[in-house]
Amino acid sequence: MLEGAIAGLAGGGAYAALGLCLTLMFRLVRVVNFAQVAIGVIGVYTMALTVDHGWPYGLAALAGLVTATVVAAALGWVMGRWFGEAGADQRSAISIAFLVSLLAASYLAYGTDPRRIPGKFGGSLFTVNGITITQAAAVCTVGSIAVAAGAWLFLDKTVLGLRLRALSERPTTAELHAIPSRWLGVGMWAVTGLLAAAVLLVVAPQQTSDQTSLSLMIIPAGAAALVGGFRSLGRTVAGGLGLGALQGALAHVSQLQQYRDTVPFVAILAILIWSQRREVWDAAR
Amino acid sequence: MPRVDPNLVKRTAMFRQPLAALLVVVVAAVAVPQYWLFLATSALVSAVALLGLGIVGRAGMNSLCQLSFAAVGAWTVAQLNVWSAPGTLILWTVVGGVVAMPFGVLIGLPALRLRGVHLAVVTLGFAAAADVVVSAINFPGVDSYQQVMRPEFIATDRMYFVYAGLLFVVLSLAVEWVGRTRIGASWRAVRFSERATAAAGTSVAGAKLSAFALSAFAAGLAGGLLAGQVGMITAQNFGTIGSLALFVVAVMAGGEFVFGALFGGFLIMFIPEFFRRAGISQDWANVLFGVGAVQALSQGTSISEGFAKRLRARRPAAVPPAREPIGGGRPPLGAKPLLEAKGVGVRYGQVTALQEVDLVVPEGTVMGLIGPNGAGKSTLVDALSGFLPSAVGSVTLDGRRLDGLPVHRRAGAGLRRTFQQDRVPTGLAVDAYLRFAAHRLVTRDELEEIRGFLGCPPGDAHVADLDVGSRRLLEVAAAILAKPKLIILDEPAAGLAHAESLALADRLVEVPARYGASVLLIEHDLDMVRHACARIVVLDFGAVIAAGPPAEVLARPEVARAYLGGEEAALT
Amino acid sequence: MRIAKILLAAALVAPMAACGDSGSGSGGDGPINIGSVSTLSGPVTFPEASQAARAVFDDVNAKGGINGRKIAYTAADDKGDPSSAALAARDVIQNKKAVALAGGASLVDCQVNGPLYAQNKITDIRGIGIDPGCFSSPNISTVNTGPYFGSTVSLYYASETLKLNKVCSFFVIIGGTANAYKEGVDRWSKITGKKPLITDLSLSANTTDYTPYILRARDAGCQAVLFNGTEPMLVGWVKAAQAQKVKGIKWLFLAPAYTVEIAKALGPAGKDVVALSEFEPYTDSKSTINQDWRNTMAGHKVPLTSFAQGGYLAATHLVEVLRGIKGDITRESVTKAMKDLKPLPSNMTGTPFAFGPGDAHAPNTSAKFVKPDGNGGWTVLTPDWIKLPNA
């Protein structure tokens, strides 16, 4: 069980980091970006494609990161240009449209053949008491905590962070105060797109890596973000890591059979309903 | 000039789109080659699922797990087929829809606490979990190689297309019909404001769950229809991405409209086929759907909603008749206590919003509740109407204790309230809203009468086209029409011109005698309060500081102090 | 609204564009229409089988066709989706008026369209049969071993040839394949009288990390582990095992593992891997058995894979059946010929291809086994066929 739980941390760290992207996006640009992971997938596949063309890994990874950043920025621009004042619900619906389109576009661009994703974090880091910690698990876990800490410092301690938070409340008002809201929003998309691609560069080589199942990592990532209520960075990380560990541990419970993948959903749902039990009404008054 | 009876036009309006759809189906069945009919049948299957998506859409919720419900329907049909249950495929399909409904309710339950994007993430999670389960449990008959049997008369693909078309038409008629009942109105109301829905006496939970249940029913039908069409179903039919694509198409085409659902189903099947024939990768179809949805949302409307709006815009805008000022008069004081609140208190953490408020509203009167901003007036209204379960004290209406009752039950018991903010759902026409909010059967004459009484816009005007003032009046009209014992009006004159406020005051005076309801009026406009009220109560810092006839109370120095912050002046 | 107008226009034009083509009937002097339904787009694709079949038919046409009639071949795409598969089959049967199907390789086609083929009395020689329907339909017979009999043969090889007695299996379940895999394992138990240590049918395409399962196999003491994943899953599996420093367990992989790309991707990490070859191992360039196949594929630039072997075999079998038909070649005569068919031996498979009147066909119950040589190639482990006894 414990072994399984620790083995699950690689996935958990990825959920946590992607969940952080979602939380930051929701807090700062009012969108639950369903296309978040799909943007990362574009980056990873660009990397795989260029490696196939004989590029060295480092250069290819850079190309992947740049592509994901540019794609994310472009989507962010569309969002800011036409849906600057729209509510979170509508913007999120748009991101679902982005997801469906991006996925189809990635099939068009990279083909439908499953690709093997080269990676650098395949090996094991160290072994304690017969429990092996893989590099990917360590990088993801430490990375997600570092990102959360960095984001917290940035948002609470820097002027730009404060501006971003002000912007998220009312973009037009922020614009009146000479804060270029649209470009800050585009920047936010670009940064989270970069982050998503980086996360996938670490975990995708160890995972089944067809575009659809990778893109659907948005679901556990979204669950992690829900644990944090799309607000708390710390609880998002905890939610992601917990979810990964739970999945890993459940692999050892043979009674659950093929239904084990539904357990995290049920767990998240229970947490959510408990934490939101007082949200009886849609508006404060 | 010869004219068609407008009522007849109105009554047949709901049949127009389904009947047009029927025409399309009949023509296609005769003229289109078999292969294309098979494709068109698939389009109808998608259209049925889209209709269901439109139902939750009406209620302002996003469901990303429509195909999971379809899987339930398909599974049911496959199982009944294996059992050779009586009733043939036609009954099985309906049963499939019914079996899917509890699953819809199950997903509707989180929707009672989760909203917007949170709910969307949960439904997506459900879709993925359902995907796991559906992949794990084999569809019945797949192993034993039993195809879903169609009855003889729809055995051919051509006849099956006709059957699918009829099913779509029947379902769309039903959806249109339900949409015009109070349940349908409650969906639109919930989308706009849950508080107002409950205050209108309708259970928010009921509205949300019924929307999800009916949506799941439609999806279940679609699943059963698919099972009959393809004969052998597997889990790949109901993937998560499929649900997402369906949602995107619903956004683009407008699943809330029969035409939109049909058009959406058509797009889902024929655009990929078009690309295939043109030698272009079919993946372009999903790219196109995504771009289309973005485009549709940037316009603020789906394609069919856009058309509907254009059609509507051609009708002349309704102008409400000017309200005649009348002589006013004094409301009776009333003797028998109607509403009795004792020791009502509300705390938000350390802050005391209301302390030990005692309030008696007599039967058959208009009473005023005034006080400076932040005095706790709206908190008191919330406490009386049941929005604050944490409030202490007791509330009795006409001898019946209301404590512990939820909002919609208090409304049902005869306590109606309006809101400071505009809470009239924009998706409805004036009469539809009045019928919904009345929460009882009302005749056309009653509607005419109440609209005339308050000077509301005509019944077929759309709420979305009204100015804020007219919407406030409409809200008041709806509250009166519900025949409650007590109406609490929270600043109904906000958004009205001064003269209009006074005209409203005149009308309010008549309400007790004319409609048998007492009125508790919360208002900043002291002129209006003076006109309308027999007695007033003054609230400050969460406590009652004065009560009595308006002229007398307003003359008191402590009242003036409360309003003007210490300056010694009389409010006369 | 601009997009709306474009879409409306497209929607209106589509049916008109459609009515243009409807295949000419068969019989007489026109071409012999042959079709196939394959998964050519989507997350998992099998394009080589139908490409190889087309290569065979093109060569037959170049040499004058069959009794002077050319073969017109349609490879329809089902996108791995049942509704599309139903549509694709109708396109082949109704629009293209095919007399038979051959060389298909699809994730869903057999299960979805098996009844339709039976209804329309059309027969299908499958290049690569994947879903369970390919092995349980009256009108479909497939030339490959398939994942379910493949599982049985792999376990049989592990327990009987390698003498490994602690055998485990982990199955990724896509669609309704769980029972078929379970039957595959049960078949092995019945033949050998041995019980598997673990049979885990709980992995899915959404299982992204295999580490927990590998640890479970190690902790249980498995000596051989059968895993049925597709290409990237297999690489993920081996990499996860490598990261956990799990050694000494034989990883038995099914036919999808047997590709040059996998051997390259695994490199030295693949030394514990054993893969199944459903046909005469195609990487063995010295094998004379594959010579004609190699030449045909090279002539039409079809990639050399075992899927291409399946397509090639299916097509050559069909050509042989067509050549044996006396009189007009129609759907009826082809179906009759299939139902009357005597087993057709081929050196590329361990057991002969068969059709016949039965309700289910699984003619290929044999395999050879190969392992990566560490340099991107494969070494044949079993020069002789491993055949299931009385299966």
Set of chain C residues whose Cβ sits within 8 Å of the Cβ of B139 = 176
Closest approach of B99 to chain C, Cα-based (Å): 22
| C232-236 contacts at long range (C-beta below 8 A, 24 or more positions apart) | C232/A114, C232/A115, C232/A116, C232/A117, C232/A208, C232/A209, C232/A210, C233/A208, C233/C172, C234/C262, C235/A116, C235/C262, C235/C265, C235/C266, C236/A205, C236/A206, C236/A207, C236/A208, C236/A209, C236/C209, C236/C210
| Separation of alpha carbons B264 and B215, rounded Å | 16
Segment C175-199 shows an average pLDDT of 90
Among chain C, residues having any CB pair with chain A shorter than 8 Å are: 41-45, 173, 178, 198, 200-209, 211-213, 215-216, 219, 229-233, 235-236, 239-240, 242-245, 261, 265
Is residue B154's pLDDT more than 50? yes
Q: What is the pLDDT of residues C313-363, one digit of tens each?
A: 999 999 999 999 988 999 999 999 999 999 999 999 999 999 999 888 999
Instruction: Estimate to the nearest angstrom the gap between the alpha carbon of B273 and the chain centroid.
Output: 37
User: Among B34, B276, B278, whose Cβ lies nearest the Cβ of C94?
Assistant: B34
Q: Phi-psi bin for B358: left (phi > 0), alpha (psi -120 to 50), beta?
A: beta
Cα–Cα distance for residue pair C368/C349, rounded to 1 Å: 9
B33 and C132 in contact by Cβ < 8 A?
no
Cβ contacts of B301 on chain C, cutoff 8 Å: none
Mutation target among B133, B134, B145, B157 for the C interface, most CBs of C within 10 A: B145
Tell me the mean pLDDT in the region B158-178: 92
Q: Distance (Å) from the C-alpha of residue C214 to the closest C-alpha of chain A?
A: 10
What share of chain B in percent tops pLDDT 70? Answer: 93
User: Which of A167-176, C34-43, C70-79, C94-103 has the lowest average pLDDT?
Assistant: A167-176
| Residue-level pLDDT at B346 | 92
Nearest CA distance, C16 vs chain B (angstrom): 10
Of A89, A99, A277, the CB nearest to B117: A89
Measured at the alpha carbon of residue B185, what is the angle toward residues B183 and B188, in degrees to the nearest 5? 115
Q: What's residue C21's pLDDT?
A: 38
User: Tell me, what DSSP letter sits at residue C81?
Assistant: -
Q: How far apart are the first and last CA of chain B?
A: 57
CA–CA dist B346, B387 (Å, integer): 11
Which residues on A lie below 8 Å from C261 (Cβ)? Answer: 116
In the predicted structure, residue B498 carries a pLDDT above the cut 60:
yes
Report the residue from C10, C180, C204 with minimal CB separation from B132.
C204
Q: What share of chain C is helix, strand, coil (3-state, %, to 5)?
A: 45, 15, 40
Read off the pLDDT band of B327 (50, 70, 90).
low
> Based on C-alpha coordinates, what's the Rg of chain C?
22
- Count contacts between A and B (CB, < 8 Å): 155
Residue A218 included in any domain = yes
- pLDDT of residue A103 exceeding 50, the answer is yes
With CB atoms and an 8 Å threshold, state whether A132 touches C45.
Answer: no
pLDDT value, residue C298? 93
Mean pLDDT of the region B131-154: 81
The shortest CB-CB distance from C242 to any of A10, A122, A254 is to A122
Residue of B nearest to A268 (CA): B122
Residue A256 pLDDT: 66
Q: Dihedral through CA C375, CA C376, CA C381, CA C383, nearest 10?
A: -110
Q: What is the pLDDT of residues B371-416, one digit of tens each?
A: 888 888 999 999 999 999 889 999 999 999 999 899 999 999 999 9
* Residue A280 resides in a domain: no
pLDDT of res. B489: 94
Q: Are A99 and B244 in contact (CB under 8 A)?
A: yes
The residue of chain C nearest to residue A2, with distances taken between CA atoms, is C212
pLDDT of residue B566: 47
Angle at C226 between CA C223 and CA C228, to 5 degrees: 160
Nearest by CB: C208 against A4, A124, A213:
A213
**Range of weakest confidence among A148-152, B44-48, B106-110, B460-464:** B460-464
Q: According to the model, what pLDDT value does residue B167 have? A: 94
Higher pLDDT, B267 or C210: B267
Which C-chain residues 185-204 have CB contacts (< 8 A) with chain B? 202, 204
pLDDT in the model for residue C12: 44
- B466 CA to chain C: closest CA distance, Å? 25
Q: What is the pLDDT of residue C2?
A: 47
Instruction: Answer whether C202 sits within 8 Å of A258, measured CB to CB.
Output: yes
pLDDT of B229 higher than 80: yes
Given the structure tokens 């090889």, which residue do they identify?
A: C157
- Show the domain range for A255: 2-275
For A123-139, write each residue's pLDDT tens digit: 778 887 777 788 888 89
Q: How far apart are CA A78 and CA A93, in angstroms?
A: 14
Q: What are phi and psi of B462, to 5 degrees?
A: -90, 140
Q: How far apart are CA C227 and CA C256, in angstroms?
A: 11
List the CATH number of the domain containing A94: 1.10.3470
pLDDT beyond 60 at B130: yes
Give the C-alpha distances (Å, rounded to integers) separating B439 from A167, B200, B410, B483. 43, 7, 13, 9
Strand partners, B490: B522
CB B265 within 8 A of CB B279: no
In which band, very low, low, confident or very high, does the pLDDT at A105 lie, cut at 50, 70 and 90? very high
Question: What per-residue confidence (pLDDT) applies to C291?
Answer: 92
The answer, yes or no, to whether residue A53 has pLDDT greater than 80, is: yes
Selecting from 3.30.465.10, 3.40.50.300, 3.20.110.10, 3.90.1150.10, what CATH number does the domain B337-564 have?
3.40.50.300
Three-state DSSP class for residue B203: coil
Question: Of B125, B241, B281, which has the smallest distance from its Cβ to A103's Cβ?
Answer: B241
Q: Which chains touch B (3 or more CB pairs under 8 A)?
A: A, C
Average of per-residue pLDDT values in chain B: 87
Put simply, the answer to whether C232 touches A112 (Cβ < 8 Å) is no
The verdict on a CB contact (< 8 Å) between C205 and A113 is no
Cβ–Cβ under 8 Å, residues B536 and B550 = yes
Whether B231 sits inside 8 A of C14 (CB atoms) is: no
C-alpha distance from A224 to closest chain C C-alpha (Å) = 17
- What is the enclosing helix (H) or strand (E) of B191? helix B182-192
Q: How many domains does chain A have?
A: 1
Q: Which amino acid is at B483?
A: K
pLDDT, tens digit, 9 for 90 and up, residues A203-212? 888 776 678 8
Phi, psi angles (nearest 5°) of residue B396: -125, 135
Subunit contact B236:C136, Cβ cutoff 8 A: no
Chain A CB contacts of B240 under 8 Å are 216, 219
Q: Is B548 left (phi over 0), alpha (psi -120 to 50) or beta?
A: left
- Sign for the pseudo-dihedral over CA of B104, B105, B107, B113: positive
Report the length, in residues, of chain C: 391
**DSSP class per residue in A170-207:** -HHHHHHTT--HHHHHHHHHHHHHHHHHHHHHHHGGGS
Contact C94 B143 (CB under 8 A): no
Cβ within 8 Å, pair C209-A7: yes
Give the pLDDT confidence score for residue C162 in this predicted structure. 94
The residue-averaged pLDDT of A80-89 equals 83
Closest chain B C-alpha to A104 CA, distance in angstroms:
5
What is the full DSSP assignment across B223-272? HHHHHHHHSS--GGGG-HHHHHHHHHHIIIIITTSHHHHHHHHHHHHHHH
A130 vs chain B: nearest CA distance in angstroms? 32
Kindly indicate the confidence band of residue B307, based on its pLDDT and cuts at 50, 70 and 90: confident
Q: What is the pLDDT of residue B316?
A: 47
- One-letter amino acid at B443 equals T
State the pLDDT confidence band at C20, using cuts at 50, 70 and 90. Answer: very low
Domain membership flag for residue A264: yes
Of residues B409, B365, B369, the one with CA closest to residue B385:
B409
pLDDT band, very low/low/confident/very high, at B309 (cuts 50, 70, 90)? confident
pLDDT (0 to 100) of residue A236: 94
Write down all domains in chain C, each with its CATH number in brackets: 18-145+288-360 (3.40.50.2300), 149-277+368-387 (3.40.50.2300)
Q: Answer yes or no: is pLDDT of C14 > 60.
A: no
Of A113, A247, A258, the CB nearest to C204: A258
Residues 6+ apart with CB under 8 A from B500: B323, B469, B493
Q: Which residues of A touch C203 (CB under 8 A)?
A: 258
Using the predicted structure, report yes or no on whether residue A8 has a pLDDT greater than 70.
yes
| Average pLDDT of the residues in A215-221 | 90
Q: Among candidates A253, A3, A135, which has minimal Cα distance to C215?
A: A3
What is the number of other CB atoms lying within 10 angstroms of the CB of residue B375? 23
Write out the residue limits of the CATH 3.40.50.300 domain(s) in chain B.
337-564
Q: Cβ separation of A7 and C244 shorter than 8 Å?
A: yes
Q: Cβ–Cβ of C213/A10 closer than 8 Å?
A: no
